[in-house]
Homo-oligomer: A and B are copies of this chain.
Amino acid sequence: MPGYTAPTKDMQYVLHDVLKITEAGIAGYEDLDRDFTAAILEEAGKISTEVLAPLNPVGDTQGCRLENGIVYTPDGFKDAFGKMQEGGWPAIDMPEEYGGQGLPYLMNTAVGEMFSAANQAFTMYQGLTHGAASTILAHGTEAQKQTYLPKMVTCDWTGTMNLTEPHCGTDLGLMRTKAEPTGDGTYRITGQKIFISAGDHDMAENIVHLVLAKIPGGPEGIKGVSLFIVPKVLVNEDGSLGPRNGVSCGKLEEKMGIHGNATCVMNYDGAVGYLLGETHKGMRAMFTMMNEARLGVGMQGVAQAEVAFQNALAYAKDRLQGRDVTGPKNPEGPADPLIVHPDIRRNLMEQKSFVEAARAFLLWGSTLIDRAHREDDRDADGLVSLLTPVIKGFLTDKGYDMTVQAQQVYGGHGYIEEWGMSQFTRDARIAMIYEGANGVQALDLVGRKLGSDGGKHVMAFFDLVKSFAKEHGETDGMAEFLEPLKRASKDLQAAAMYFMSEGMKNPNNALAGSNDFMHLFGHVCLGLMWARMAETSLRALAEATEDPVFHETKLATARFYMARVLPITATHLARIQSGGDTVMALDAASF
């Protein structure tokens, strides 16, 4: 059975040595000193390793089942859910007035990585609840907040997001679900929603569905969509539970992975719904917390890569097969461990250099979100909005690739379910799809974010790279990290310039390169993270750190990334600059 050990030390390094969070000047961060975050991370790591990880293969093997209208989660899920509730984990960043702990979003990301790595399918139940509660927090009336939030913060009630219908996913303007006003201020919701994660289950006494629907007579398309609260069990005025509402799970989907999470077809048959926010402003309300939600999915990609890497690494050290080509490393044994072989190293280093930089990127992005919300900093908001599609799209694409590479280390044992490596791959696959498929992320990046506010935010990003390079240009040992970063950043700028000049002439010239641009951008971000970590670790070594091996390892991994991974930016640029013609040349019929 695969294992999981929380990367607490690495997180502490990023939070305190690299990001120096207590000095960040963000409200609430002043409390996040080294001991405090260590205490949280260690506790979260403990429950991840001891409670969540052992249930991961159980959830995969058993899946959920629908019997007589009731959805049952896999054995052990309910108990574990209770333990998570006891620990207060589901909403550590929710406001204290509703029962949360009021911690920054940053800490939610850090512990979320652990929970997701240990058991993604399980963690989604509380993740969806978090998203729904955040939306109610942002758009609900005070009465709605009082009714739902205290229960959702504890996960006594969980939440869901209902967007997709059989004929529409990305293009929600085609939606058919109807919300008929009853005259008493409530609505009757009728329609079918699909792919509803955590749509129904046996771990909570109520489920609060947030449902997008159209009020008849409203504007056509996406502008006529409103958002509704539709509880599974109606809530009485005194807060007690009343009768069942007209909503039920019609079917559970059979999926490639995340079997432990109930992916439901939800049928709304005149269910009572309460408008959340304004009429016809449903999309805006649903997507208020989009940066957080998408960062959370990017985090899932990294989390699966991390747990897959941990296991691949352990296997590579343990499994004896073949001999080191430069001479036996385990001469007493029948063979050397796999890790002596250069191509296994290459594989492991790609994983390691990805997950560590990706983690730093996620945590940095989370500080931007906190700065935007807690300091009302519009520049931070603009920057993280720009980076969000990169975080979501690039990190889930690469995270998936890394789970595939980790699986490869096991040879045939990676393909059989017994070792658990297949599950990491199958679970990681969904993150490239949901919360906006990665093609949509690339489109959002190039078609919307890149030029938003006159390109101000992308310029801010370039300035950030430039000023970092300038600040440390003379620092001993930094040149080998700064030069590749500057080269890659130049490729990114050239790509952005290409879009500006050629995209004007024909939008296809830009959009045909959107996926390459997202990846190019992602590599520059990870390159920046490695340069920052290199600077941090060089400083630590110069200051005679007590843990030189840790910092030397960071430098070696940074070197690998710069030499072996970052050169790909040139290829992405070449692809982008080849334009849209070769992409769009064929008639659909000629394919």
B575 pairs with A564, CB closer than 8 A: yes
- Which residues 323-375 in A have Cβ within 8 Å of B in the complex? 325-326, 334-335, 337, 339-349, 352
Other-chain residue from B347, B400, B438, B564 in contact with A439 (beta carbon distance below 8 A): B347
Known: A256-B422, A346-B583. A321 touches B411 (CB 8 A): no
Which of A194, A254, A341 gathers the greatest number of chain B CB atoms within 10 Å?
A341
What residues of chain A have their CB less than 8 Å away from a CB belonging to chain B? Answer: 164, 167-171, 174, 194-195, 253-257, 263, 313, 317, 320-322, 325-326, 334-335, 337, 339-349, 352, 400, 404, 407-408, 411-412, 414-418, 422, 425-426, 429-430, 432-434, 437-439, 442-443, 447, 506-508, 511-512, 514-515, 549, 552-553, 556-557, 559-560, 563-564, 567-568, 570-571, 574-575, 578-580, 582-586, 588, 590-591
Please give me the residue from chain B that is nearest to A552 by CB atom: B590
Cα-based distance from A560 to B584 in the complex (angstroms): 9
A-side interface mostly: helix
B342 pairs with A511, CB closer than 8 A: yes
Selected A-B contacts with CB under 8 Å, 16 pairs:
A169-B411, A174-B334, A255-B422, A325-B508, A326-B506, A342-B511, A342-B512, A343-B439, A345-B512, A349-B582, A349-B583, A408-B437, A411-B437, A425-B429, A564-B578, A567-B574
Which residues of B are found within 8 Å of A443, using beta-carbon distances? 341, 343
Cα-based distance from A426 to B407 in the complex (angstroms): 12
B254 pairs with A416, CB closer than 8 A: yes
Which residues of B are found within 8 Å of A433, using beta-carbon distances? 408, 411-412, 414-415
Which residues of B are found within 8 Å of A194, using beta-carbon distances? 412
Known: A337-B588, A560-B583, A578-B563. A415 touches B255 (CB 8 A): yes
Which of A508, A514, A574, A583 gathers the greatest number of chain B CB atoms within 10 Å?
A583
Cα-based distance from A297 to B364 in the complex (angstroms): 44
Please give me the residue from chain B that is nearest to A336 by CB atom: B171
Cα-based distance from A412 to B166 in the complex (angstroms): 10
Cα-based distance from A447 to B324 in the complex (angstroms): 13
A343 pairs with B170, CB closer than 8 A: no
B553 pairs with A170, CB closer than 8 A: no
Cα-based distance from A194 to B415 in the complex (angstroms): 13
A343 pairs with B511, CB closer than 8 A: yes
- A171-B335, A263-B416, A408-B439 are known; give 8 further A-B pairs, CB within 8 A: A169-B321, A170-B411, A195-B416, A256-B422, A342-B584, A343-B442, A404-B429, A426-B426
Which residues of B are found within 8 Å of A335, using beta-carbon distances? 171, 174
Known: A335-B171, A433-B412, A564-B575. A584 touches B345 (CB 8 A): yes
B339 pairs with A588, CB closer than 8 A: yes
A439 pairs with B575, CB closer than 8 A: no
Smallest CB separation, A246 vs chain B (Å): 25
Smallest CB separation, A414 vs chain B (Å): 7
Cα-based distance from A488 to B586 in the complex (angstroms): 25
Cα-based distance from A341 to B439 in the complex (angstroms): 10
Which of A256, A352, A442, A512 gathers the greatest number of chain B CB atoms within 10 Å?
A256
Smallest CB separation, A39 vs chain B (Å): 27
B171 pairs with A321, CB closer than 8 A: yes
Which of A168, A169, A257, A586 gathers the greatest number of chain B CB atoms within 10 Å?
A586
Please give me the residue from chain B that is nearest to A438 by CB atom: B408
Cα-based distance from A255 to B407 in the complex (angstroms): 13
Which residues of B are found within 8 Å of A341, using beta-carbon distances? 439, 443, 511
Cα-based distance from A382 to B588 in the complex (angstroms): 42
B253 pairs with A342, CB closer than 8 A: no
Per CB-CB distance, the 3 closest pairs between chain A and chain B, nearest first, are A342-B511, A563-B578, A256-B422
A412 pairs with B438, CB closer than 8 A: no
Smallest CB separation, A179 vs chain B (Å): 20
Cα-based distance from A339 to B506 in the complex (angstroms): 17
B570 pairs with A582, CB closer than 8 A: no
B556 pairs with A586, CB closer than 8 A: yes
Smallest CB separation, A297 vs chain B (Å): 13
A568 pairs with B571, CB closer than 8 A: yes
Which of A342, A408, A514, A552 gathers the greatest number of chain B CB atoms within 10 Å?
A342
